[in-house]
Structure 1
Amino acid sequence: MANYSLSKPVCQLDENNYFVGMTVADLDPLNTNGNYLIPRLCIIADEPELKAGYIPQWLGNAWKYIEDHRGETVYSKQTGERIRISELGALPDDLTTQAPLPYSEWSEKAGTWIEVSDADELRLLDKRKNAGMLNRNQILTQIELEHGENKEKLVEIAERELTGAHLVKVRNTIMEAQTFTLGNDDIWQFFSETLNIDQDRLFRLWEEAKNNYN
């Protein structure tokens, strides 16, 4: 009478035949011919080699290795959107593992993110928006201290140098607005172009007004 091992290793699969791990099949105590009780979703096969970034899938007679990016963070080449991978398989062509750089777009030719042509303008616009708000007294007091123009003088300059809707918006802001922002194109142009305040100096002036007149 042959001697059989009380158990033997078998490969456990999931519902889609992907390898889960190794388990054991017990010898059938009611059968003397070496029959084993194979657990559900298990197969008798050699344990597959484990490869980083892949998961083995049983094809019925051999193992196939499927790319496994589950849990990885990737990015849309079109929008830069951050995406968490939850499905097996190769990454779609419109995704990349490279995180986008600020003010960049994906270049298929270069195979990486490259800075857009108007990156400097976008940086400046973001810096203006992030400068926050000042109330009218804060900014007008700081301008008067540093440049000598009070509110009435600023209105006089605006009426002399500006025309049309640009004039109306600047004049009304100086005379009536509760708050000022550098994100306002009319005010930005008036300060930087009409009053000829250097951009770096304008940002410093803005921060000084915040700190000095809370």
Structure 2
Amino acid sequence: MTDYPSAIPVCQLDENNFFVGMTSADLDPLEKQQHYLIPRLCVQADEPEQRTGFVPLWNKGKWNYVEDHRGEVVYLKKTGEKQTITALGKLPNDVTICVPLPFTEWSEEAGTWVDVANAAELRLQDKREKAGALARSQLLTSIELQFGKSKTDLLEIAERELTGDHLIKVRNAISEAQSFTLKNDDIWDFFTQTLYISADKLFALWEEAKLNP
């Protein structure tokens, strides 16, 4: 009489036949021959090889391997919106793992994010908006320290170089404003186009001025 083991290892699957892990099947006590009670969703097969980034799938009597990107962060090529992969299989064609930068769009030809047509303009505007505000005394002190131009000098330059609404807004800001922001077009144009302060120097001055009481 042959002695059969009381249990054998079997492969447990999920509802979609993906490998879950190993379990055991007990010998049928009512059968005299080698017969095991295979649990539901289990198959009698060798344990599949574990491959990084893949999940074994039981299909037609053998193991196939399906890509597993679950938990990975991807970005929609159309909008740059971030998403997390929840399903097994290859990555959809409309997503990428490349992180988009502000003011870019996806280029299928380049296989990466590329600048939109007016990216430089948009980045400059964004930087201006994020620069924050300065009290009038902070700004005027920094202008005088770095460029030797007092409040009186600035008013004289404005009167000489500007006209119309632009003159009125700049003159009133220098004389009366509680604070200044670089997102104000009149102030930005006065510093960069009338005083010929480069954008980089103006941003640097702005940050230094914030340190002045």
TM-score (norm 1): 0.83
2:4 alignment partner in structure 1: 4
> Deviation per CA, 1:31-84, whole angstroms, max 9, x where unpaired?
322221222321223433333322122345444432210011222222333322
Partners of 1:173 and 1:57 in 2: CA distance: 71
Q: CA deviation at 1:143?
A: 1.9
Q: Percent identity?
A: 62
> Deviation per CA, 1:174-198, whole angstroms, max 9, x where unpaired?
3333221223222111111112223
Q: CA deviation at 1:140?
A: 1.6
Paired AA for residue 189 in structure 1? D
Correspondence list, 1:38-187, <5 A: 38-59=38-59, 61-101=61-101, 103-187=103-187
Moved over 6 A (4+): none
Q: 1:165 to 1:40 in 2, by over 3 A?
A: farther
Mean Cα deviation higher: 131-140 or 177-186: 177-186
CA RMSD of aligned residues (A): 2.6
Secondary structure (helix, strand or coil) at the match of 2:210 reads helix
TM-score (norm 2): 0.83
> Deviation per CA, 1:154-204, whole angstroms, max 9, x where unpaired?
344334433454344433433333221223222111111112223233223
2:199 alignment partner in structure 1: 199
In structure 1, stretches of 5+ residues that fail to align are: none
Q: 1:30 to 1:164 in 2, by over 3 A?
A: farther
Q: 1:93 to 1:145 in 2, by over 3 A?
A: same
Secondary structure (helix, strand or coil) at the match of 1:47 reads coil
Secondary structure (helix, strand or coil) at the match of 1:154 reads helix
Partners of 1:65 and 1:164 in 2: CA distance: 73
> Deviation per CA, 1:93-144, whole angstroms, max 9, x where unpaired?
1111222345533210121223444443344334333333211111022223
How many equivalent pairs are there?
213
Partners of 2:123 and 2:93 in 1: CA distance: 29
Q: 1:16 to 1:115 in 2, by over 3 A?
A: same
Secondary structure (helix, strand or coil) at the match of 2:16 reads coil
1:13 alignment partner in structure 2: 13
Q: CA deviation at 1:13?
A: 0.9
Q: CA deviation at 1:15?
A: 2.4
Q: 1:193 to 1:61 in 2, by over 3 A?
A: same
Paired AA for residue 175 in structure 1? S
